[in-house]
Amino acid sequence: MAIADSNKIIRDYLIADAGIIALFLPDAPRIYCPRLPEKATLPAISFFTRGGTSTPYIPGLPSPSVQFDCWATDTALISGSINARQVYRVLYDALQGIQNIPVGAVPPGYQIMSAIEEVQGQDLVDELVPNYFRVLCFFSIMIRADT
């Protein structure tokens, strides 16, 4: 059994979530992996797998730990921070506590067995890129390859 591409599975799930879609209307969801591209339109979400667990006995059941950055921009610090926090709340609603969600076509299909927030959102200001604000959070996501 091949190892699942957890980044693709997570992105496929997020771009199909109604709350995420509504956040980015009328544009397609701006969800990037592994990082935000230069001069990206905001708001946006970027993420990457930072580690996690797996077992050689069940190769189709990875549990990545994923870092999410929820981005927004504004000229006022308070307003920008609120916008980034709104993006975080939509991401949180899309992931926190989900169970047994099918993702992708069968075969090969996958399921997100669970998603649990590991670290709550932290408000950050990017000092190198003016007016970019983000909320940083971490989720543990368990994925299963359908066979």
pLDDT in tens, 19-76: 999 988 888 889 999 988 988 888 999 999 987 777 766 767 778 899 999 998 764 5
pLDDT at 109: 74
pLDDT band (50, 70, 90) for residue 88: very high
With both helix axes pointing from N to C terminus, report the angle between 77-95 and 6-15 in degrees, rounded to the nearest 10.
Answer: 100
The partner residues of 64 in beta bridges, in order of sequence, read: 52
Residue 142 scores a pLDDT above 80: yes
- pTM comes to 0.86
Class of domain 6-35+42-54+61-145: alpha beta
